[in-house]
Every structure is written in C-alpha cells, then in structure tokens.
Structure 1
Amino acid sequence: MRVVIASRIFSPEPAAASFRLASLANALTERGDQVTVMTTTSRSGERPATRPNVTIRRFPVLRDRDGYVRGYLQYLSFDIPLFFRLLFERRPDVFVSEPPPTTGVVVRVVSALTRVPYVYYAADVWSDAAESTGAPRFVVRVLRLVEAHVLRHAKRVIAVSDGVARRVDELSGARHSVVVPNGIDTTIFSPGSSSPRSAPTVIYAGTTSEWQGADIFVRAMPEVRKRIPGARLIFLGQGSAWESLEALAEQLAPGAVEFRGVVSPDRAAATLRSARVAAVSLKPGQGYDFAIPTKIFAAVACGTPVLFTGPGPAADIIEGAGLGLAVNYEVATVADALTTMLRDRTWDPGNLAEWAEKNASLATAGRRAAQVVSDAGAGAT
C-alpha cells in the first residue's frame, strides 16, 4: 500500500505532531507499506531526519519570528503548493492529513479529484480553540464549517483522546473517529543512568503557548523559594509565550527561573531525569480542556513525577496511576503542590517508567494509528 502524509510539521522539529507522525510512518513501513511525507524544509540549524523506506519531500514555507509555521499566511504558504504537490504525486492508496483544517481542505479537494480516501489526524479541535481565545465570531464560524467539512468526508479520523473523539463526532455528524492516544519514544525518554536528583529542581519541557498557561509556575516560585530557598524552575523549549515568561520571571523571581530554549530530545530526557518534578499545565477555558499533554508521558518515562494543573482527563490519569499530583489552576495551590513534591521522594522512578512503557509507548501508538490508516486505504467500513 502507498501512503502519503501531508503535514506542515515533521521530524526533526521537536513537537508532539512530529513524533506521532514519524512513529506512524515507521509503523507503516514495518507493515511493508511505502510512505511519502509532504512537509516543510527544516528550520535553520535543524538537521533533517532520514528514515528507512520513508520518502520525505520538503518545501520552503513562511515561518513566524519564533520559527513556527503558525498563522494564516504561514499556513497558506504550505497549503497552496501542497495542492499541486499532492495532485501530481504518484497516486497513493490513502492520504493522511495533519491539522490545521486548511491543510485538511487541500487534502479533501485532492481526495475528491483523485478518488483517494484520506485519514485526518485530530490532535484537537481548532474551531473550539479559536472561539475560546476570542477570535472574531465570523472567523470562528467559517473555521468551524471548514473543519466540520474536512472531518465529515474523512474515511477515518484519528483522535488523540476520548474528548477530542466526542467533539469530532459532534462536528462531523459521523461516527468514524478512532482514539489513539499520543505516546513518547521510550528508547530516548527512559530512566537511563539517571543523574542524582539532589537539587530541588522543577522542569517544564515543551511548548509554551498562551493556552498552556505555564506562567502559573513562574507565579508560584516566589512562595516556593520562601519555603525551599534553593528551588529552581527550568524551561526547555520555545513558544508564543516565551518572551512574556522571561519578563515575568525577571519581575517576580529573579535568579530562580532559567530558560534554556530548544534542546535535542536526548538532552531534554537527561534534564528530566535530573529533576524532582516535571511541571505540566493547561489553562482552563482555552479550548484545550480535553487535551492530554505529551509532556506528561515524557517525564514519567524518565522516572520523574508530574505536577499537573488544569482541567480535563490528564488529571484523572495522573491521580489514577499515581504518576504525581493534579491540582486546580490556582497559584497558591500550585505553590503548595510544588513544595510538597520537591520535599517528597516517594515516587519510584522505575515504577513510573514501567507505567510509561506499558501505557504510553510511541511505538504502540504508531502501530495502532497505522492499522487505522491501513483499514482506510483498504476500503474498510
């Protein structure tokens, strides 16, 4: 079977979408399928990955000042050429489309012209997120119509959580979504030869967008430092909130918060191993209440307990499996929880990593997603 994946983001860019799509591509080739990825040229300084039996076709696009393909012009700079790239590509058995919905529209149109089915990989619901962040009503209405159209005509929709699947079914009016939770590469994110966790360090590893509300950890640090003078908060990654976080840290907790920027997965894993706590947040009411951040799995796979603050199913997973603490999105509550976890050494790294291997392996997620794609390409109903 021939599969073409269309995505503005792919390995080596450090993001959950890159990881899950690379895992999907690998799992498909393990089944004997031929995979072509239509994506963008890598950012300056990044070394494009090569994968056995996966053909990666890259095309230059516009990026914002942080290096992301994010924003209407940036999306169009990928989507418009993508139409012609897909149309003149050797006919596959199935397309796979990653958000945003504009990319989904391109894939939908080409699918109709070529009579090739497509699978849509829904990490979240973009129209709901746009509405919650105060986008103009007209924009939200158009985006919702576009997204619903893309979802409705997909042969299958892969949803990363039950909440996303329910919303997808509501929007599309169909019942063709399949839940495949995100996973993490446990060959990289593992306890390994862990560094001593002697320093009271908290790590936030990943994207810092406004909807994630990572500023709550910065706001909590002054109180944490009163109780644990040597406590530190380290940010790894980047995002639209990065500069505002730096300014806030300088104002509220000078010397207590460190920003290291984007690092390789290996370095991120090593840093997580050395920390006592991994910080993960979702700001309530931003359209992502049903999200389950991959940051949770990366930390747990390294044997590091998680402090999660925010709404949704992530809290139930953490509390139910004993992966750390889940608390309300309030500064005082977060400060209390951070203090408790920095002092508490009861979480066993081996147990945490074992849970991740059994429940959050990227390879397992890739194989499940590959089965969905294979069924769609084979004409399963």
Structure 2
Amino acid sequence: MTRVLHVLDHSLPLHSGYTFRTRAIMAAQVAAGLDVRGMTGQRHTADGPPNEAVEGLLFHRTPGTASGPPGVREWREVGALADAIVKLAHDWRPDVLHAHSPALCGRAAIRAGAALGIPVVYEIRAFWEDAAVGNGTGRAGSVKYRLTRALEDAVVRDADAVFTICNGLRDDLAERGHPAGKIGLSPNGVDLTLFGAPPARDAALGARLGLGSGPVVGFIGSFYDYEGLDVLIDAMPRLIARQPGARLLLVGGGPMDAALRTQAEASPAREAIVFTGRVPHREVERYYSLVDVLAYPRKASRLTDLVTPLKPLEAMAQGRLVAASDVGGHRELIADGTTGTLFAPDDPAACADALADLFDDRSGRAAMRDRARAHVAEHHDWARNARRYQDVYQHLLARRNNGELSAAA
C-alpha cells in the first residue's frame, strides 16, 4: 500500500476552500486504497492535539511558532516543518511527499525528501503573491511579491513532479520556462457523494430574511475585493427594473464586509439586499435552498484569470444555476449558455442583464442545470480526479527504484 504524506499550510477542522480541497483529495485516496496522512506547518493555529483525527483523516501538527524579521521567520517555518516531516517518517514511513502551496510547504517537503530519499510532488492551487494582491495584503511588483515568485519558481524546479489546479496556472509556469511535461493538471473537484437532490426551499428562513417570492440571487463565501460583490450590489437597481421581486442574498463575511454594507445602504435597491453575516457550516445548505441563481462576479485581474474557484462547481453539483464574470478562471469551468451564464467583468449593467435574461428563460433553466451537473460529474468528480495522482506517484516510485531520481537540496 502506497503511503502519502500531504504537506499543508492548514487543514481541518478549519473551514476554507483550501481545507475542503485537501479533505476531498485525501478521502478519495483513502477510498482508492492508499494510506494517507497530513502534516501542517506552524501557520495552522487552531487549538488541538499534536496528532488530530478529523472526519476520519489523520493530521500531524508542527509544534511552535516561528519568530524573527520577515524572511528569517519564513525560513524558520520551513525548517520546523521539514524537521517535523523527517521525525514523523522515522515511525511512519511515507513513500511520497505531496506538498501543497504555498511554496513554504513545497520547500520544506523538498528539504525533507532529500533527507529521506523519497520523491516530492508539489501542487499549486494559486500563486500566493497574486492572492496577496487580490485580498489587499500585497502589492504587485513589490520586493515581497518578487521574492515569493522566485521561491515558487525554485520549488517547481526542484520538485520531482508538479500539479496545478487549472490550465491558467500551468500555462503561466510553462511561459516562465518550466518544462510543460513536468506539470500535471488536477482540476478543482467535488465529492459527488455529498450532493444529492437539492434541498427543498426553507420557507421559514426565507420569510425571516424578508426575501419574498424572489427571484433570489445569492453569493455564499468570503467577501474579498476581487470577488466583485460591489459590482453585484451596483447591478441590483437595473435587475429590479426588469425583475421587481428580485432580492440579493449575501451570506458570509470578510475584509469587504463593512464597505459592502455601506454601499448597499446607499443603494436605491437597499431594501432588496440582505446580509446574513457568517453562518455555521452546518447551516449553509439552508441558505443555498433559498437561492435561484448563484452569482460569482469576480473582477478581472491576474489572480482571477489564472485561478479556477471551487464555489461554482459546488453550486453546479447541487443543481443550482450559475452566473459568473467572464474571466479566465470561470471560462475553464463554465460554458456560456450551456452550463451557466458568463457576463463582462467589472460591469454592473452586464451583470444585471445576464441575471435578468437567466430569470426570463424559464424553459431553458432545467436543461442548463442538468448539463452543469453532468459536466461536473464527468470532469470534476474527485473519485476520478484522484487517479491522476496515483499514476504520477507510481511513475516517481519506479524511477526512484531504478536510481533515476536525485534528491534536491
């Protein structure tokens, strides 16, 4: 039985798109007969034991907290995580280290892999320098941006194999000069066993929120600037002109929460915009039941053009209609007019018209939902996606056994 140690920034029981993807990968690999565990670095700050079982998956924690000036602190994080991997390997001997971005995890795995003589797979879910720009914590072209990019390039160079979650990331790496044959694709996916028939509308919750008879446009997630929720709010007056009963339901929170609430309060459509704040994960399905169309109005940027999000796939798997901005990350997931609707980014009028047209087309909506779910089942089911990893693992192990792999320092 192949043993795989996933090297992670953070994990369950924390809830994020990152941890949900990790859970899906590990669960699919367990179902396929692999022996898998996770190891988190010092940025996993949730309270818990050093060895923690969550939802049937075992995670090991790196102890301590790194300190020091920028650069030194991150290098200490890498050292602590590498040491924790090597220590675990003395008792539980992994065959493969599968590190997930950020590059700090990749560098720690490469250091540990060299000490242990085992291959390293590095998976990039986003370029973290671009994510920092997107969420307002970084600036394009800054020293930190360039250093993060350089570290990423070094990890890609030294890893034995690389995966990205979408073509945008893979193509960008190839343009930087990395061999395309070294870079595999493992697209975002969903565990279809978690999605049955869409839940019945929770009428009591809808009445408490004042949604009326709808239709309801919804967004459920984190409120970052790049998500374009300000565009969605600005689209509401025009949408209401065509669909007088339309409501906007915003579920979640984040850095843009206060600004969005202020914007909504000043809108002519303020009575039609409902904020719920963050809701417990176990309650999310109730809010999904109220939404007729899930909207993802991401703004045009390097981040949104290169990276595919997970939320639209989950909505499609649930049999929900999806409308999204026409950026690269969405184009990889949604065929306009076939599995969803795309509209020009950063354009409230285009957003409003696309939503209104979708509501007007009553006869075509059921078929679009069916096509979307079939697309997810065929191309984004983790039961299938996980096989991509196993092929690469076996290839690397065969090369190691034949003496063809050389450990990177």
TM-score of the aligned structures, taking structure 2 as reference length: 0.79
1:205 paired residue number: 220
Query: Which residue is 1:182 aligned to?
Result: 188
Give the Cα–Cα distance (whole angstroms) in 2 for the partners of residues 193 and 307 of structure 1.
20
Aligned length: 369
Q: Which runs of 5+ in 1 are unaligned?
A: 63-70
Matched, 1:97 2:96: no
Question: What per-residue deviation string (whole Å, max 9, x for no partner) do you get for residues 177-234 of structure 1?
Answer: 1111101232333433432895211111223322222221112112223333332212
CA distance in 2, matches of 1:372, 1:207: 34
Find the aligned partners of 2:19 and 2:71 in 1 and give their Cα distance: 20
1:317-348 CA deviation, whole Å, 9 max, x = no partner?
42357122101011111111122223332211
Cα distance, 1:8–1:35 mapped onto 2, change above 3 Å = same
Residues 191 and 301, structure 1, Cα contact 8 Å, conserved in 2 = no
Structure-to-structure mapping, 1:89-238, within 5 angstroms: 89-90=88-89, 91-129=93-131, 134-171=139-176, 173-175=178-180, 176-195=182-201, 199-238=214-253
CA–CA distance in 2 between the matches of 1:144 and 1:342?
43
Question: Which is worse superposed, 4-13 or 154-163?
Answer: 4-13
Deviations 1:118-175 (A, max 9, x none): 1111112234555786345322221221110001111111111112111123336223
User: Structure 1's 196 and 57: CA in aligned 2 closer, same or farther, altered over 3 A?
Assistant: closer
The structure-2 alpha-carbon separation of the partners of 1:192 and 1:243, relative to structure 1 and needing over 3 Å to count, comes to same
Alignment of 1:1-381 (within 5 A): 1-39=2-40, 40-42=44-46, 50-52=54-56, 54-58=57-61, 79=78, 81-90=80-89, 91-129=93-131, 134-171=139-176, 173-175=178-180, 176-195=182-201, 199-252=214-267, 253-263=269-279, 267-312=283-328, 314-315=330-331, 317-319=333-335, 322-329=338-345, 330-345=347-362, 346-348=364-366, 349-379=369-399
Whether the 8 Å CA contact 2:163–2:184 is kept in 1: the answer is yes
Q: Distance in 1 between matches of 2:314 and 2:293?
A: 12
Report the structure number with the largest CA radius of gyration. Answer: 2
CA RMSD of aligned residues (A): 3.2
Within 2, Cα distance between the matches of 1:173 and 1:37? 28
In the superposition, the TM-score normalised over structure 1's length comes to 0.84
The superposition leaves residues 270-320 of structure 1 with CA deviations (integer Å, 9 ceiling, x where unpaired) of 433432111113211243302222111111111111111141152364235
Query: 1:120 touches 1:151 (CA, 8 Å); kept in 2?
Result: yes
- Change beyond 3 A, Cα 1:227–1:160: same
Q: Output one character per residue of 1:230-262: Cα deviation in whole Å (capped at 9) or x when no partner.
A: 322122333333332233222324332223344
The 3 A distance-change label for structure 1 pair 367 and 61 is farther
Once the two structures are aligned, what percentage of the paired residues are identical? 26
**Long gaps (5+) in structure 2:** 204-212, 405-409
Distance 1:2 1:351 in 2: 37
Instruction: Answer yes or no: is the 8 Å Cα contact 1:319–1:325 preserved in 2.
Output: yes
Structure 1, residues 73-120: CA drift from partner, whole Å, max 9, x if none?
997896554233113111422111111122222222222333322111
Maintained 8 Å contact 2:7/2:98: yes
- Where relative contact order (Cα < 8 A, 6+ residues apart) is larger, the structure is 1
The 8 Å contact of residues 41 and 60 in structure 1, kept in 2 or not, is answered as no
The DSSP-based 3-state class of the residue aligned with 1:332 is helix
Does the C-alpha gap of structure 1 residues 266 and 308 become closer, same or farther in structure 2, counting only changes over 3 Å? same
Closer/same/farther in 2, CA of residues 270 and 190 from structure 1, 3 Å limit: farther
Distance 1:143 1:88 in 2: 27
Name the CA shift for 1:32/1:361 in 2 (closer, same or farther; >3 Å): closer
> Who is 2:407 aligned against?
none
Distance 1:31 1:362, change over 3 A: closer
Q: 1:363 to 1:84 in 2, by over 3 A?
A: same
Contact 2:78 2:105 survives alignment (8 Å): yes
Structure 1 letter corresponding to 2:293 = V
